[in-house]
Amino acid sequence: MGAGASALVLDLVQHGYRSIDAVDLSAAALAQLRSRLGEGASAVRFVCADVREVCFDGPIDLWHDRATFHFLTTAADRAAYVARVGEAVAPGGHVVMATFSEHGPEQCSGLPVARYSAAALAAMFAQQFDLMHSFELDHITPWGTPQSFTHVLLHRRRDPIAAP
């Protein structure tokens, strides 16, 4: 989610993964990603969509988001995101998410962002997901500035009745 033109999709394809949906609001970013992938682009479905409204062809085993969720700064937008994840990710599936941490910047690319602890992220998704792992890590930008990120791994419960 919010794939941009980043190297992750390239790495996944090179490691033999198929059935990948690369979703982004930006058609330009997806075009750049397609060009980077070359022939590997055939393993990827490019979806130009807003996460708040996106639909998938089938259940998602792994939802990955680095630095997209934190751009949603209203309760309504966050709720729409959480709902899309809940609809899309298969029971037993996982979410890997990285957002700015509580020590991270308050803006990115001139836009306001929300900042999260692992506990806050886990709480957002707690109705359907359990927190499996989390850590904070500084990302060093190309300009040498550290940006503190919170990373979480969430697991979707198979049985909603087992929810705490």
CB of 141 to ligand SAM, least distance (A): 11
Closer to ligand SAM by Cβ: residue 34 or 157? 34
Closer to ligand SAM by Cβ: residue 140 or 162? 140
CB of 163 to ligand SAM, least distance (A): 27
- Which position among 12, 13, 22, 29 is part of the footprint of ligand SAM (CB under 6 A)? 29
The one-letter amino acid code at 134 reads: S
Specify whether the CB–CB gap between 97 and 89 falls below 8 A: no
Report the run of H or E that residue 34 belongs to, with start and end.
Answer: helix 27-37
Closer to ligand SAM by Cβ: residue 80 or 157? 80
Specify whether the CB–CB gap between 128 and 160 falls below 8 A: yes
Closer to ligand SAM by Cβ: residue 26 or 134? 26
Q: Show contacts with ligand SAM in window 56-85 (CB under 6 A).
A: 66-68, 71
For residues 96-116, one letter each, b for 16 or more C-beta atoms within 10 angstroms of the residue's C-beta and e for the rest, the string is ebbbbbeebeeeeeeeebbbb
Specify whether the CB–CB gap between 69 and 25 falls below 8 A: no
- Asked whether position 104 contacts ligand SAM by CB under 6 A, the answer is no
Query: DSSP class of residue 38?
Result: G
Residue 152, CA atoms < 13 Å, CB-side half-sphere: 25
- Which position among 24, 37, 97, 125 is part of the footprint of ligand SAM (CB under 6 A)? 24
Closer to ligand SAM by Cβ: residue 31 or 123? 31
Query: DSSP class of residue 141?
Result: P
CB of 139 to ligand SAM, least distance (A): 9
Residues that bind ligand SAM in the complex, under the rule CB under 6 A? 2-4, 6, 24-26, 29, 50-52, 66-68, 71
